[in-house]
């Protein structure tokens, strides 16, 4: 299944549920008004394709040629390029070179390559038992060579150090992703998988870190998944895609966080 086919499938995805976590109102808006891919998202797509499916990279991406489009020859070369790149995602040369350097750094880590020695870009679909909602996930790699299956997720990041990555995991919902993906995979293989992140920095020397999600991280992620899927289900039934005031339009309390409140009392 291609990424385009996966994205068009109506089941709810991790990225969509993460918008629900922000607010149902935003989820519905962006569902009806999808944004154009940001440069960061475009880079992530190109890097993932090059790292996980390099043999078919050229079928989906085209790299901009270095031509002067102000000249007659340059205009013709650009027109020829656009014709050849039809239906492909066009990326600048700098983005291509950056992704290539990161992939070379990733390939230089033997254990990372062992982890990625499995089925790549595999889509899973399942029905949530409590809500009956159809769910989906597309894992970067499922490695079944060890006694316990391993779901491997490759992340590009500005800082792959363990302390920085855990902050990103909480901020961007990587714990939620790990729990949701692990649940989806386990429905198919009838065994609970481990979940491992491979983080690659975007700047030289493109440092690589490998991090396994522990049970507490997965439990927190599972709690968020359950909260989001229940909200999604409730909003679908009620038609009330509420915002920050909640489904009952209640005013929120502006309170000091616990770590700051103790200095006041």
**pLDDT at residue number 64:** 82
- CB of 140 closer than 8 Å to CB of 152: yes
For residue 39, which of 104, 94, 2, 103 has the smallest C-alpha distance?
94
Q: Is the pLDDT of residue 197 over 80?
A: yes
Q: Give the model's pLDDT for residue 52.
A: 95
CA 47 to mean position of chain CA atoms: 12
Cβ-based neighbours of 14, under 8 Å, separated by 6 or more: 137, 173, 176, 177, 180, 181
Q: Which tens digits make up the pLDDT trace of 218-247?
A: 999 999 999 999 999 999 999 999 999 998
Tell whether the model's pLDDT for residue 41 goes beyond 80.
yes
Per DSSP, 121 falls in state: E
Evaluate if residue 149 carries a pLDDT over 80. Answer: yes
> What phi, psi does 207 have (nearest 5°)?
-60, 145
Direct distance between the N- and C-terminal alpha carbons of the chain, in angstroms, rounded to an integer: 58
Q: Which spans in the chain are helix H?
A: 3-8, 14-22, 24-32, 39-52, 57-60, 72-84, 93-107, 110-115, 162-172, 174-189, 215-238, 258-261
Rounded mean pLDDT of 3-14? 88
Asked whether 22 and 242 are in contact (CB, 8 A), the reply is: no
Average pLDDT over residues 169-181: 96
What confidence category does residue 201 fall into, taking pLDDT thresholds of 50, 70 and 90?
very high
Percent of the chain, pLDDT > 70?
99
In which band, very low, low, confident or very high, does the pLDDT at 59 lie, cut at 50, 70 and 90? Answer: confident
SS (H, E, C) 39-83: HHHHHHHHHHHHHHCHHHHHHHEEECCCCCCCCHHHHHHHHHHHH
pLDDT digits (tens, 9 = 90+) for 64-95: 887 767 787 777 777 777 777 788 888 889 99
For residue 32, give the 3-state DSSP assignment. helix
Q: Taking Cα atoms as reference points, which of 191, 197, 213, 212 lies closest to residue 144?
A: 191
Q: Say if residue 2's pLDDT is above 80.
A: no
pLDDT (average), residues 169-184? 96
pLDDT at 13: 95
Side-chain-facing half-sphere of 141: CA atoms under 13 Å: 23
Average pLDDT over residues 212-222: 97
CA-wise closest residue to 124 among 196, 188, 174? 188
State yes or no: pLDDT of 190 exceeds 90: no
Look at residue 258 in the predicted model and tell me its pLDDT: 85
CA dihedral 230, 234, 236, 237 (to 10 degrees): 140
Of the given ranges (33-37, 47-51, 159-163), which has the lowest mean pLDDT? 33-37
């Amino acid at each position: 299944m291609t990424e385009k086919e996966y994205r068009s499938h109506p089941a709810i995805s991790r990225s969509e549920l993460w918008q629900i976590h922000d607010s149902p109102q935003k989820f519905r808006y962006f569902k009806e008004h999808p944004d154009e891919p940001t440069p960061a998202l475009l880079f992530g797509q190109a890097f993932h394709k090059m790292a996980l499916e390099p043999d078919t990279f050229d079928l989906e991406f085209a790299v901009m040629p270095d031509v002067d489009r102000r000249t007659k020859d340059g205009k013709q070369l650009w027109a020829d390029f656009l014709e050849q790149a039809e239906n492909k995602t066009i990326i600048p040369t700098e983005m291509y070179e950056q992704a290539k350097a990161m992939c070379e750094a990733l390939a230089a880590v033997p254990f990372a390559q062992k982890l990625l020695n499995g089925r790549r870009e595999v889509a899973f679909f399942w029905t949530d038992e409590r809500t009956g909602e159809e769910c989906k996930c597309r894992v970067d790699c499922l490695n079944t060579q060890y006694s316990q299956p391993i779901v491997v997720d490759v992340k590009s990041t500005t800082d792959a150090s363990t302390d920085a990555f855990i902050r990103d995991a909480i901020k961007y919902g990587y714990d939620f992703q790990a729990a949701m993906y692990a649940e989806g995979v386990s429905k198919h293989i009838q065994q609970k998988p481990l979940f491992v992140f491979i983080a690659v920095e975007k700047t030289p020397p493109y440092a690589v870190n490998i991090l396994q999600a522990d049970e507490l991280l997965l439990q927190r992620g599972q709690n968020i998944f359950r909260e989001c899927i229940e909200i999604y289900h409730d909003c679908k039934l009620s038609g009330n895609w509420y915002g920050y005031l909640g489904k009952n339009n209640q005013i929120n309390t502006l309170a000091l966080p616990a770590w700051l409140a103790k200095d006041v009392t």
